[in-house]
Amino acid sequence: MSPLCKRLRKATVLRELIRGWRNGENVEFEDRMQIEDDVVDVFNIPVVEHSAVVDVPGGESAIVDVPHGESAIVDVPHEESAIVDVPHGESAIVDVPHGESAIVDVPHEESAGVYVPDGERAIIDVPGVENAGVDVPD
């Protein structure tokens, strides 16, 4: 299988994962993300994708790489870490209400927001952007 086909397959499985979870399916994350012999824990979305949405309620980490996407949205309510790298996207949003850390690296973004109401720390690195915000209430 070519690298592009593998990336498209991962994107397809990601969409199926989100659709199934929102429909109330109670299936283990590892089982639903099994591709060939490897569990996919890194979503490398191809440039043909306009957006990447990851909702991983029970996993240890969520990593999204959207090189030319318009938006990347990560909702990880009980995560240890959420990492978003969107070098040419318009926006990156990370919502980690109970995570230990949220890291956003968006070098060419218009805006990047991190909302971590109960997290221990929020780290944002956004050089050359118009608006970068971190909201970490007590």
For 62-117, write each residue's pLDDT tens digit. Answer: 556 555 555 565 656 555 556 565 655 555 656 565 555 565 656 555 555 565 55
Domain boundaries, position 80: 3-135
What lies within 8 Å, CB to CB, of 134 at 6+ separation is 113, 114, 116, 122, 124
The structure tokens 């690296």 sit at: 105
Indicate the residue type of 77.
Answer: P
Reported pTM: 0.38
Q: What is the pLDDT of residue 40?
A: 37
Specify the number of domains making up the chain. Answer: 1
Q: What is the mean pLDDT of the chain?
A: 53
| Other CB atoms within 10 A of residue 91 CB | 19
Q: For residues 55 and 77, is the Cβ–Cβ distance under 8 A?
A: no
